[in-house]
Structure 1
Amino acid sequence: MADYDFDLFVIGGGSGGVRAARMAAQTGATVALAEESRLGGTCVIRGCVPKKLMVFASKGAAAVADARKFGWDAQCGAFDWQQFHPKLMAELERLEGVYRKLLDGSGVKIFDSRATIVDPHTVKLANNQTVSAKHILVAVGGHPVRPPLENAELGLVSNDLFLMEELPKSVLIVGGGYIACEFACILRNFGVDVTMYARGAQILKGFDDEARGLLSESMRQCGVDIHMGTSIQEMCGAADAPSGPRPTGSDATMGGPVGERESLSHNDKSITDPKAAGPVWTKATTGVEKVFDHVIFATGRAPSTDGLGLKEAGVTLERSGAIAVDEYSQTNVPSIYAIGDVTDRVPLTPVAIREGMAFVETVFKGNPTPVDHDLIASAVFTQPELGSVGLTEDDAARNGPIEVYSTSFRPMNQAFIDGTARVLMKLIVCVDTRRVLGCHIVAPDAGELIQMIGVAIKMGATKEDFDRTCAVHPTISEELMTMREPSRRT
């Protein structure tokens, strides 16, 4: 039997890679992990965690406005990014330290370095040191991409928004997915003038039509200027505009600079060109010309497989660049596995963690464990939030006859202060089996609600199970228990 330096070498220190490394080490295996940027990966450093902290911060103005209507003598000034941003950076640094401590405590050898694959059992570090391993796990995640547009490098991507030293006065967000919608709500509630261009007929492709329709209406009511069926045709620095710089809507303003990282990594894809921080002139496909402090591309993400040596090692890649794996996360090269966003499965942090746990069960505990990707609940942290689990109405209808139970209303707190915000509660039910096939919620804290509903649906709950459950009153969620008659049948 060949001798190796490690039983497992993990490339990538995000949530999935760290979990797999720790759990493998707990079995007694010798484990190493290489991360070229910062431990914690996309979710902790440049994704879910900082974004959610920004969501929390962005709710302040609305909370104060509602408090006044309830009778509080409350005042709300402008949002102070200079106060918030250092705290955000400090929290990410703290969390990175937590991840490092967890790995150290588990006995995992950490290499703060980029690592590439030489062959099925060999990894090369940035200093040209080579390390051998019985198993290699690739967990490098993905990165945001810009469209193939001239001067697209002048636009920011999601990574850059956490590095801004100042808030801009105006932004154009290109894209209609969950990242675009979340940042549109965050920045608008911070007081930024937000415009959205999306190519489709509606935002949030892939989510339930009724839910995304209500959310689009809510975003417009909050002041997000949404333009569907629209994209950028041309863009350049405002100083180079064909007819000279144009004002943004009130003034021609300078956007806040984007801070540079100590070291730019392969995964970070952050803006380092100073000219990218200035105003950008754009021409839309509709012919509208306008200058924005920043253009933000939320036009998709790609797996970070370039230059990893995967093809040279014989690993099969999908057309998208994602690593092809089987149900056990194994590639066509038996010693090489892959989990998380670097594969073409479900790009969510909890899924990557589950895949890492299943990998350890399979490889190090002798318990072959396929990953269950069915009925995964998800949330879009807009304001209000959108929670979803299971099939959309359209997808369910294609599989057979269904009943739709749906209600939209002003919740008690909004009705009392004469607010306009509405919520949506929706269940999709199979006529034949009575099982609830999908649930879609648009409401404050919908992410918290959908987590619990996800348990019931995963267990195979029927509509009658919901009906037999006594409601908690008065709550928004009680509507899921009290809808007796279907809105429609298809």
Structure 2
Amino acid sequence: MPEFDFDLFIIGAGSGGVRASRVAASHGARVAIAEDHRVGGTCVIRGCVPKKLLVYAAQFSDDLHDATSFGWDISASTFDWATLRDNVANEVTRLEGLYGQTLANNKVTLFAERASIAEPHIVRLASGKEVTAGTILIATGGWPHVPDFAGREHALTSNEMFHLPELPRRILIAGGGYIANEFSGVFCALGSDVTVINRGDRILRGYDDQIAQRLLQISTEKGIDFLFHTEIQSIEKLADASLRVHLTSGDPIDVDSVLVAAGRVPNTTGLGLAEAGVKLDAHGAVIVDDQWQTSVDSIFAVGDVTDRVQLTPVAIREGHAFADNRFGGKNIRVDYSNIPSAVFSNPPIGAVGLTEAEAREQGLDVQIYTSDFRAMKNAFVGNSERALYKMIVDGATDKVVGLHMIGPESPEILQAAAIAVKAGLTKADFDATIALHPSMAEELVLMK
């Protein structure tokens, strides 16, 4: 008889956990996975996938406005939030089914309930049942952080934004990161009055400052109000169900909805990790080595729960490598350098490599090349919005060490360009490439 019920038990059926389960099963491991919400995790159920669908919907606002210049009569166009909301929910359900099918096809046992660690080789399910496993993988991801203030129960997080009963006429968004800027762009385009507050003095920390400033300029021109150096002090629900938000500076603001986008924290509460001997950092993240092993030999962790890089593709890559190494006899390491990222703001941002500030901090011979231009479509319809592409080059080697873009389709263009940065290509390599004209992407090989 086998020593354990399963070779691998995974807690959390998000992108990283599902990938790890499939790969481990392909190596012959007996795998189980527990999920107390819905299979698919943050990205599929309440994150990047449904949010990207809202972004597409928001883009139609600009497209419909511009259509008249291209000969289209769209005078009868209207928008219905309920239709969008329900269609997005249906698509999420479809994708959830596909993830569940992946588990079933790979003979992975699914426990649709909460799980925690009782001992280094024992998982306790919410039903009270205990299951043994040779290896346990924590893949529970992250969770929105809401600061402690009076009336916080009236605030929403990104988890709830896809289920609003109606489109808010006025919305206040607290935060300066990618979630805040993505949702502010969406709701502004769909017709809401949007106010963004941030406790700091800039948006999108971690992104190149010049690119972030361009987004701030464009967002302000679109009608989004930004208030810096301020936080929510309290939220008061009024008789008409609207919300009065008291701030640490300035006058109160009356709105219909409040979104708190103050970052995400590792989802480790109640998992029994510390009790099992698993070391956590000061923020509750699981501490792992380069093989994703924790301080307990039989327990591993991948994805946002480790708070290394909070990106779905990173969790997938980690889950895949973990399973290959643990059950396939391989020795794979994940390279965390030059990971591309995007902000699906309006307009979107794509970035890979070092920012200008980071390159200077590293003492490189920094050379900057830019292209500041108006896309052909914008010029045709009389839209003054300008795209900005920025290349960071190490002058000592001519190597491109960073590439940052804001403008239409920037994430789509950046993915291919990220290959060049990852490969260590030089500015001369970019210059030697003939431009694809007419396109926005051609600016990558024309920067001065």
TM-score category of the 2 structures, normalised to the smaller one: over 0.9
Quote the Cα distance in structure 2 between the aligned partners of 1:330 and 1:436.
Answer: 34
CA contact (8 A) 2:341 2:352 kept: yes
C-alpha distance after superposition, 1:417-438 (max 9, x if no partner): 2211110011000011111010
Quote the Cα distance in structure 2 between the aligned partners of 1:76 and 1:7.
Answer: 60
The answer for the alignment partner of 2:365 in structure 1 is: 401
The answer for the alignment partner of 2:435 in structure 1 is: 471
C-alpha distance after superposition, 1:239-274 (max 9, x if no partner): 4xxxxxxxxxxxxxx6xxxxxxxxxxxxxxxxxxxx
Q: CA deviation at 1:75?
A: 2.3
Q: CA deviation at 1:369?
A: 1.6
CA contact (8 A) 1:146 1:153 kept: no
Q: Greater shift after overlay, 367-376 or 125-134?
A: 367-376
Q: CA deviation at 1:2?
A: 7.1
Q: Which of residues 262, 266, 276 in structure 2 aligns to 1:313? A: 276
C-alpha distance after superposition, 1:422-480 (max 9, x if no partner): 10011000011111010000011111111111101000011000011111011112111
CA pair 34-425 structure 1, distance change in 2 beyond 3 A = same
> What amino acid does structure 2 have at the position aligned with 1:478?
E
The answer for the alignment partner of 2:208 in structure 1 is: 208
CA contact (8 A) 2:173 2:260 kept: yes
Q: CA deviation at 1:235?
A: 2.2
TM-score, structure 1 as length reference: 0.89
Q: Greater shift after overlay, 82-91 or 202-211?
A: 82-91
The answer for the alignment partner of 1:243 in structure 2 is: none
The answer for the alignment partner of 2:379 in structure 1 is: 415
Quote the Cα distance in structure 1 between the aligned partners of 2:119 and 2:2.
Answer: 15
CA contact (8 A) 2:150 2:233 kept: no
Indicate whether 1:79 and 2:73 are aligned: no
Q: CA deviation at 1:70?
A: 2.7
The answer for the alignment partner of 1:302 in structure 2 is: 265
CA contact (8 A) 2:152 2:234 kept: no
> What amino acid does structure 2 have at the position aligned with 1:151?
G
The answer for the alignment partner of 2:354 in structure 1 is: 391
Quote the Cα distance in structure 1 between the aligned partners of 2:57 and 2:278.
Answer: 44
The answer for the alignment partner of 1:42 in structure 2 is: 42
Quote the Cα distance in structure 2 between the aligned partners of 1:370 and 1:82.
Answer: 45
Q: Which of residues 329, 353, 357 in structure 1 aligns to 2:292? A: 329
> What amino acid does structure 1 have at the position aligned with 2:270?
G
Aligned residues: 447
The answer for the alignment partner of 1:355 in structure 2 is: 318
Quote the Cα distance in structure 1 between the aligned partners of 2:104 and 2:401.
Answer: 43
Q: Which of residues 417, 434, 458 in structure 1 aligns to 2:422? A: 458
The answer for the alignment partner of 1:448 in structure 2 is: 412
Indicate whether 1:96 and 2:59 are aligned: no
Residues 56-455 of structure 1: pairs in structure 2 closer than 5 A: 56-75=56-75, 77-239=77-239, 278-399=241-362, 400-455=364-419
> What amino acid does structure 1 have at the position aligned with 2:166?
E
Indicate the percent of aligned positions where both proteins have the same amino acid.
47
- For residue 98 of structure 1, give the secondary structure of its aligned residue in structure 2: helix
C-alpha distance after superposition, 1:73-106 (max 9, x if no partner): 2225342012112111111111111111110000
- Which contiguous aligned blocks of 4+ residues in structure 1 show a shift greater than 6 angstroms? none
CA contact (8 A) 1:238 1:291 kept: no
Flag structure 1 segments of 5+ consecutive residues without an equivalent.
240-253, 255-277, 485-490
Quote the Cα distance in structure 2 between the aligned partners of 1:234 and 1:207.
Answer: 30
> What amino acid does structure 1 have at the position aligned with 2:377?
N
CA contact (8 A) 1:82 1:165 kept: yes
CA pair 301-76 structure 1, distance change in 2 beyond 3 A = farther
The answer for the alignment partner of 1:248 in structure 2 is: none
Flag structure 2 segments of 5+ consecutive residues without an equivalent.
none
Q: CA deviation at 1:398?
A: 1.6
CA contact (8 A) 1:78 1:191 kept: no
Quote the Cα distance in structure 2 between the aligned partners of 1:228 and 1:166.
Answer: 28
> What amino acid does structure 2 have at the position aligned with 1:461?
L
CA pair 100-149 structure 1, distance change in 2 beyond 3 A = same
Quote the Cα distance in structure 2 between the aligned partners of 1:475 and 1:200.
Answer: 37
Quote the Cα distance in structure 1 between the aligned partners of 2:147 and 2:125.
Answer: 31
> What amino acid does structure 2 have at the position aligned with 1:75?
S
Root-mean-square deviation (CA, aligned residues, Å) is 1.2
Quote the Cα distance in structure 2 between the aligned partners of 1:197 and 1:97.
Answer: 38
C-alpha distance after superposition, 1:144-195 (max 9, x if no partner): 0111212112111110101112111111000010000000001111111110
C-alpha distance after superposition, 1:260-311 (max 9, x if no partner): xxxxxxxxxxxxxxxxxx3211122222112110111001111110110101
- For residue 379 of structure 2, give the secondary structure of its aligned residue in structure 1: helix
Quote the Cα distance in structure 2 between the aligned partners of 1:119 and 1:333.
Answer: 10
> What amino acid does structure 1 have at the position aligned with 2:124?
K
CA contact (8 A) 1:238 1:279 kept: yes
